[in-house]
């Protein structure tokens, strides 16, 4: 922009600076009102730590919880890996179920459904630090209770794993490898079956036969009705032979009947349709010949359709194709089931492998509650100051935009 444009902008802001102030104050008032109306949300945090006998540990979160020199004990166990495993177990369904059982009298029915409480709890930690269990609720007391109960149940769940019979890391690793190979084999077998499956080909052939049968049924209904109408026209022709007006009407009815049959794409009638109007100018003797020819063609097609509908070979082929498709579906279903079982087994062994990391360390290892959550004094949301600041900035921006964009009016009310 050139200097004249900047000068115009500065002058316009000087003239209308009050707009920005009013808009900022109005937006701040709206934000303040919203902060007073919005329901508060409270967050409370409890802390747990993974300890080892003989370790130098500070539970104060301002200090490093474990030794800064090395994260490995004398047996080579990685404490960071153990901490990561505990964090993964922090959202375990077993923990949530235990918490729901303890707080059943304080929870709404909707909050007792699986996954509802875990959405309100976050389990996190920086490497080597104590693990933070943060819960949110509508009141400070509920937030503190939920955080403490969740931390206690997480501690109990992890300690239950530590106090159980130690798992062999070598055996678990071998089982995990076997499960991975079994899943890969099941997935490969499933892919091979799909590549060599004839299901699509069989389905296409079956649909073609069923379509043909449906077409013959449609033609059978049409032929049956056409035969009745043609016989009725022949009777009318016998009565109306001296009356050439009725002969003309009968020929028109024949033409309409042939057009209806041509719509079904019956070969004998498709080619007749466009030439049919010429019969209207012919004699009465020709009318009887055409009616007889029409009846013969209809009866021939009626016989053909009846034979097609009673052909046992067609129905045998349909049953055979249906049986083959069922066999293909059964094979696919069996391989899908084997693949799903292999996948579930693999996931179970992966979870067991993570538990093995907990039990592979020093037998004296344990998880303790480092600090309990206290009811927070202030809600974390809505943040009144933040909302007001955002409201002021948004209002001021809107006011400046209006000051620059709205045209100026002269004293007579006309826009300049």
Q: Which residues contact 17 (CB under 8 A, 6 or more apart)?
A: 403
Are the C-beta atoms of residues 220 and 302 closer than 8 Å to each other? Answer: yes
C-alpha distances out from residue 409 to 18, 28, 414, Å: 17, 29, 5
Per-residue model confidence as pLDDT tens digits over 138-175: 888 989 999 999 999 988 887 776 555 455 667 777 88
- Closest by CA to 203, choosing from 327, 370, 43, 95, is 327
127 or 334, which is more confident: 334
Per-residue model confidence as pLDDT tens digits over 46-71: 998 876 534 444 444 433 333 333 44
Range 25-30 average pLDDT: 84
93 or 282, which is more confident: 93
Are the C-beta atoms of residues 84 and 414 closer than 8 Å to each other? Answer: no
- 401: pLDDT strictly greater than 80: yes
CA dist 357 and 158 (Å) reads 11
Residue 156, pLDDT score: 85
Q: Which residues contact 160 (CB under 8 A, 6 or more apart)?
A: none
Range 192-204 average pLDDT: 88
Give me the sign of the Cα torsion angle 96, 122, 48, 139. Answer: negative
DSSP string of 317-362, one letter each residue? HHHHHHHHHHHHHHHHHHHHHHHHHHHHHHHHHHHHHHHHHHHTS-
Contacts of 139-145 with CB under 8 Å at 24 or more apart are 139/42, 140/42, 140/44, 140/375, 140/376, 140/377, 140/379, 141/375, 142/42, 142/106, 143/42, 143/43, 143/44, 143/373, 143/375, 143/376, 144/44, 144/373, 144/374, 144/375, 144/376, 145/103, 145/106
The architecture in CATH of the region 40-166+362-381 reads: 2-Layer Sandwich (3.30)
Range 199-220 average pLDDT: 86
Peptide bond just before 246 cis, omega within 30 deg:
no
Helix (H) or strand (E) run with residue 298 in it: helix 284-309
Give me the sign of the Cα torsion angle 67, 72, 77, 81. Answer: positive
Range 380-400 average pLDDT: 80
Q: Which residues contact 216 (CB under 8 A, 6 or more apart)?
A: 305, 308, 309
Residue 70, pLDDT score: 40
Residue 134, pLDDT score: 93
Residue 164, pLDDT score: 52
Helix (H) or strand (E) run with residue 239 in it: helix 199-239
Q: Is 135 helix (H, G, I), strand (E, B) or coil?
A: strand
What would the two tokens of residue 39 be? 């329901």
Q: In the chain, where are the structural domains located?
A: 1-38+383-416, 40-166+362-381, 200-310
């Amino acid at each position: 922009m050139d200097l004249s444009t900047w000068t115009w902008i500065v002058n316009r802001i000087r003239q209308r600076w009050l707009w920005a102030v009013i808009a900022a104050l109005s937006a701040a008032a709206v934000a303040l009102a919203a902060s007073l109306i919005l329901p508060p949300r409270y967050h409370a945090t409890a802390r747990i730590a993974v300890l080892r006998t003989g370790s130098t540990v500070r539970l104060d979160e301002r200090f490093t919880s474990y030794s800064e020199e090395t994260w490995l004990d004398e047996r080579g166990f990685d404490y960071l890996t153990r901490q990561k495993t505990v964090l993964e177990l922090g959202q375990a369904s077993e923990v949530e179920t235990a918490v729901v059982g303890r707080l059943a009298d304080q929870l709404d029915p909707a909050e007792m459904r699986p996954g509802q409480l875990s959405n309100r709890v976050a389990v996190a930690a920086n490497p080597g630090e104590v693990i933070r269990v943060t819960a949110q609720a509508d009141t400070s007391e509920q937030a503190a209770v939920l955080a403490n109960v969740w931390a206690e149940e997480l501690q109990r769940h992890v300690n239950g794993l530590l106090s159980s019979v130690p798992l062999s890391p070598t055996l678990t690793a071998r089982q995990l490898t076997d499960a991975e190979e079994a899943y890969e084999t099941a997935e490969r077998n499933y892919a091979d079956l799909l590549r060599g499956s004839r299901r699509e080909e069989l389905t296409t052939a079956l649909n073609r036969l069923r379509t043909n049968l449906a077409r013959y049924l449609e033609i059978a209904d049409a032929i049956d009705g056409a035969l009745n109408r043609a016989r009725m026209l022949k009777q009318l022709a016998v009565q109306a032979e001296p009356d050439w007006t009725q002969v003309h009407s009968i020929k028109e009815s024949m033409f309409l009947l042939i057009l209806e049959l041509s719509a079904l794409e019956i070969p004998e009638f498709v080619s007749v349709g466009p030439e049919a109007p010429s019969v209207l100018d012919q004699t009465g003797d020709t009318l009887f010949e055409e009616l007889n020819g029409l009846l013969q063609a209809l009866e021939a097609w009626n016989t053909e359709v009846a034979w097609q509908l009673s052909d046992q070979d067609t129905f045998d082929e349909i049953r055979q194709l249906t049986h083959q498709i069922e066999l293909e579906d059964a094979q696919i279903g069996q391989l899908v089931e084997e693949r799903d079982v292999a996948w579930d087994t693999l996931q179970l062994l992966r979870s067991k492998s993570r538990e093995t990391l907990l039990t592979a360390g020093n037998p004296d290892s344990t998880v303790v509650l480092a600090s309990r959550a206290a009811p927070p004094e202030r809600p974390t949301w809505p943040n009144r100051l933040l909302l007001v600041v955002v409201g002021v900035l948004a209002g001021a921006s809107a006011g400046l935009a209006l000051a620059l964009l709205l045209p100026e009016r002269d004293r007579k009310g006309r826009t300049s």
